[in-house]
């Protein structure tokens, strides 16, 4: 790039028009390259945008029930050292219409940060074409087999594999884990919707789409016209229609206005965005009926072919939900309100033994949750680095809060990264405070689901046989090829003879001395930017008006008392609770708890005392990183593995929760005669609770009680020092 170096004054209009013409040619050439990329990738058997080398480990096409998924091992980049004893990470790619590989598109990614922390990494991707007869259930069974394979490859790993499900892959991983409760380690859901009706009025318009289209009958029609396949390009179109301003103008104008620098980034992203894949019609029907419209998964109404009910309460692994307020595809309500479907309060979560953590970003968009480098090097990095803390966390609901590590941070040597990770206890009221549906709105969505079932049944009975008889493989392929999304890519490729001179002109403009960028202060350039902002504002107004119309239509139609009564949602039976909430596991009897109170020795007593001191205050990574010290202080045995530490913590927490007074009163009977060791345990507890700085008065009080139990004669100098008294 070379600016016009003439010393003669340049007419602003001439300067602007020259630059505009050059930018237009270069922009068209970028579209030409995009079209050529599309043509090249559609010819590949396994196109993807992974930026890492990988080795095929398991091919789902060879399974008893074949699927178009495969498990690959990620090859560490040069300079990255992997510890085979660390728990492996498995990233599951979202199959939501787009091509595979987005979870590992950049080196600053979920895969990248896990490998930088020394973890072996695996990736579950897919091919563009589904296997004949493949179902969502088949895919979930295959994913379970992939997890077992990775587990077998790492017999000495410190924990079960961590599963990362991006977007659509998130609910798929949750189904897999619910059907195989003992299989997975911690599960990270990144931008993954689980509660499809959730949202707030005035926002989240995509949740109304299914109802306003009359339900899932159009999905059935599309599958019939596709000769048993559903074209993922329609899903891409839905995503694009959610933001008219970006789809029709902002994305293209951003490239045009920065044509000298923006091309490579744009082309790399469009490789993924512009390569839609196929789903079997049965797969898509399941997704729409069970999730998008029916919202049956979190209600415990999704049943597999063998009669097994999918109950998310059966999942024993910690679940980390990462969502963002800037996400218009999966807003925080759709990522988190499944908890309100499953549980009435946090006590039920605790009783059921589930550990659930959520983390919200203030602004990042949907794709940025698992693509943005800034998110990868903060939220994903901290989650990966603190996975052992998360896996050892006691049952309950927590919020992950990250604060910057600075000069004022206490005990910075106990912090692994650039941020301090703290897990703060939360209740379901905190989830409700994010925004949720009223009971009246829930009934409207339930009405839409009933109407969907009626319309889909009528279509199957009256129209489906005719459409299927008129459809051939050739007609289905023609419909796919003329889809607007595909045409928009192919029209600018070299297949179009009009683009041939564009390539030559662009090459000439890029040659030395032939590019004449306009001055930033050129008045016509400023006017161009003004017109662009005007176009964006206009499209945003149109988009907002459309959203208001869609919301008004939905609530007007499905809020009708007559329609609700016609589908059976106004009867006395319908007004009763119709969801399976609560806990699966029963609390142990008082007799069983009494027997356990005095069991164990100083390690168990120390852990119980520590939990008593810290109860209700959450934990941050500095405290967890010092936690193993209490076991070493209380025992002469080798360092305890994470699984053993987790078992002790959970048992002692259960006893404390059942009867705090009795649990603490039993501690003296568990102590050995070695008072020096008990003193070391107290000192370690003081170190752990004080790791994050000055203690709260209530915590200091509990710490004094614990010291009197473990070392009755010990003086109080230490507690006074760390509590600031």
pLDDT tens-digit readout, 597-643 = 888 887 888 888 888 888 777 777 777 776 666 666 666 665 667 67
Q: Do 683 and 636 contact (CB within 8 A), yes or no?
A: no
| Alpha helix ranges (H) inside 230-293 | 233-241, 244-245, 251-257, 263-273, 281-287
Give the whole-number percent of the chain exceeding pLDDT 70.
90
Q: What is the pLDDT of residue 724?
A: 47
Cα angle, residue 92 at apex, residues 334 and 110 outer, rounded to 5°: 90
Residues contacting residue 574 through CB under 8 Å, at least 6 positions apart: 568
User: Quick one: pLDDT at residue 596?
Assistant: 80
Place of tokens 């933001």: 243
Backbone angles phi, psi at 360, to 5 degrees: -115, 135
Q: How far is CA 121 from the centre of its chain?
A: 17
679 Cα distance to chain centroid: 45
Q: How high is the pLDDT of residue 725?
A: 45
The list of the chain residues with pLDDT below 70 reads: 1-9, 106-108, 373, 376, 414, 574-580, 586-592, 626-640, 642, 673-675, 691-693, 712-725
| Number of residues in the chain | 725
Residue 47 tokens read as: 């196109």
Antiparallel, parallel or unpaired: β 319-324 and 355-361: parallel
Concatenate the DSSP letters of all residues of 691-711 into one string.
TTSSPPHHHHHHHHHHHHHH-
pLDDT recorded at residue 611? 84
Report the alpha-carbon distance of residue 590 to residue 577 in Å, rounded.
Answer: 31
Domain at 54-201+280-432: CATH architecture:
3-Layer(aba) Sandwich (3.40)
- How many of the other CB atoms lie within 10 Å of CB of 4? 15
Q: CA-CA distance, 598 to 636, in Å (whole number)?
A: 21
List, for residues 536-593, the tens digit of each pLDDT value.
999 999 999 999 999 999 999 999 999 999 999 987 776 665 566 777 776 666 666 7
Cα 92–Cα 98–Cα 104 angle in degrees, nearest 5: 40
Give me the pLDDT at residue 722, please: 45
Distances (CA, A) of 2 to 23, 513, 519, 587: 14, 6, 12, 75
Count of helix runs (H) and strand runs (E) in the chain: 36, 13
**CA 617 to chain CA mean position, Å:** 27
Residue 111 burial (C-beta neighbours within 10 Å; 0-12, 13-18, 19+)? buried
The strand pairing partners of 309, in sequence order, are 303
278: β partners: 231
CB proximity list for 221: less than 8 A, separation 6 or greater: 459, 463, 464, 467
The domain ranges of the chain are: 54-201+280-432, 590-723
Question: Which helix (H) or strand (E) element contains residue 588?
Answer: none
Angle, vertex CA 413, rays to CA 636 and CA 652, nearest 5: 45
> What is the pLDDT, as a whole number, of residue 555?
96
């Amino acid at each position: 790039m070379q600016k016009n170096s003439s010393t003669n004054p340049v007419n602003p209009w001439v300067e602007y028009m020259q630059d505009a013409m050059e930018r237009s040619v270069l922009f068209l050439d970028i579209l030409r390259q995009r079209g050529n990329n599309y043509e090249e990738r559609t010819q590949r058997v396994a196109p993807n945008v992974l930026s890492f080398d990988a080795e095929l480990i398991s091919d789902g096409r060879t399974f008893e029930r074949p699927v178009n998924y495969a498990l690959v091992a990620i090859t560490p980049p040069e300079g990255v050292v992997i510890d085979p004893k660390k728990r492996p990470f498995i990233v599951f790619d979202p199959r939501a219409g787009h091509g595979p590989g987005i979870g590992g598109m950049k080196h600053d990614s979920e895969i990248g940060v896990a490998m930088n922390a020394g973890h072996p990494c695996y990736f579950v991707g897919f091919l563009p074409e589904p296997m004949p007869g493949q179902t969502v259930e088949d895919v979930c069974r295959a994913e379970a087999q992939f997890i077992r394979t990775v587990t077998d490859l790492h017999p000495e790993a410190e924990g079960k594999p961590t599963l990362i499900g991006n977007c659509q892959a998130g609910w798929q991983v949750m189904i897999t884990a619910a059907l195989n409760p003992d299989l997975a380690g911690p599960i990270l859901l990144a931008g993954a919707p689980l509660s499809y009706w959730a949202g707030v009025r005035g926002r989240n318009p995509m949740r109304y789409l299914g109802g306003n289209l009359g339900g899932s009958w159009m999905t059935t029609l599309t599958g019939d016209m596709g000769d048993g396949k559903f074209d993922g390009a329609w899903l891409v179109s839905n995503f694009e229609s959610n933001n008219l301003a970006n789809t029709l103008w902002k994305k293209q104008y951003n490239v045009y206005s920065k044509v000298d620098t923006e091309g490579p980034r744009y082309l790399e992203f469009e490789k993924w965005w512009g390569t839609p894949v196929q789903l079997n019609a049965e797969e898509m029907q399941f997704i729409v009926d069970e999730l998008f419209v029916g919202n049956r998964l979190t209600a415990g109404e999704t049943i597999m072919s063998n009669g097994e009910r999918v109950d998310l309460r059966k999942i024993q692994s910690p679940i980390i939900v990462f969502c963002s307020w800037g996400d218009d595809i999966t807003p925080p309500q759709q990522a988190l309100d499944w908890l309100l479907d499953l549980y009435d309060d946090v006590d039920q979560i605790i009783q059921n033994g589930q550990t659930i953590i959520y983390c919200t970003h203030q602004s990042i968009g949907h794709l940025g949750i698992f693509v943005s480098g800034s998110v990868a090097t903060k939220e994903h990095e901290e989650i990966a680095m603190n996975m052992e803390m998360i896996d050892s966390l006691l049952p309950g609901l927590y919020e992950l809060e990250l604060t910057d590590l600075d000069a004022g941070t206490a005990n910075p040597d106990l912090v692994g990264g650039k941020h301090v990770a703290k897990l703060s206890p939360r209740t379901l009221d905190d989830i409700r405070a994010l925004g949720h549906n009223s009971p009246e709105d829930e009934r409207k969505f339930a009405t839409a689901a009933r109407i969907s079932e009626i319309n889909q049944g009528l279509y199957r009975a009256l129209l489906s046989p005719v459409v299927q008889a008129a459809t051939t493989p050739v007609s289905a392929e023609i419909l796919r090829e003329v889809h607007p999304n595909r045409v928009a890519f192919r029209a600018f490729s070299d297949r179009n003879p009009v683009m041939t001179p564009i390539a030559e002109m662009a090459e000439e403009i890029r040659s030395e001395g032939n590019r004449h960028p306009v001055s930033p202060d050129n008045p016509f350039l400023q006017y161009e930017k003004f017109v662009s902002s005007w176009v964006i504002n206009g499209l945003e107004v149109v988009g907002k008006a459309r959203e208001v119309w869609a919301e008004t239509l939905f609530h007007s139609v499905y809020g009708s008392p007559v329609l609700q009564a016609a589908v059976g949602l106004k009867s006395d039976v319908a007004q009763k609770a119709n969801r399976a909430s609560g806990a699966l596991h029963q609390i142990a009897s008082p007799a069983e708890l009494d027997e356990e109170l005095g069991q164990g020795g100083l390690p168990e007593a120390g852990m119980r005392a520590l939990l008593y001191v810290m109860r209700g205050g959450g934990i941050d990574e500095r405290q967890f990183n010092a936690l193993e010290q209490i076991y070493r202080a209380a025992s002469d045995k080798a360092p305890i593995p994470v699984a053993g530490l987790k078992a002790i913590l959970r048992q002692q927490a259960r006893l404390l929760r059942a009867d705090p007074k009795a649990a603490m009163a039993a501690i003296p009977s568990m102590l050995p005669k070695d008072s020096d060791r008990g003193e070391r345990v107290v000192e370690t507890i003081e170190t752990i609770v004080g790791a994050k700085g000055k203690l709260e008065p209530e915590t200091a009080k509990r710490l004094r009680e614990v010291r009197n139990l473990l070392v009755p004669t010990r003086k109080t100098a230490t507690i006074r020092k760390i509590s600031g008294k």
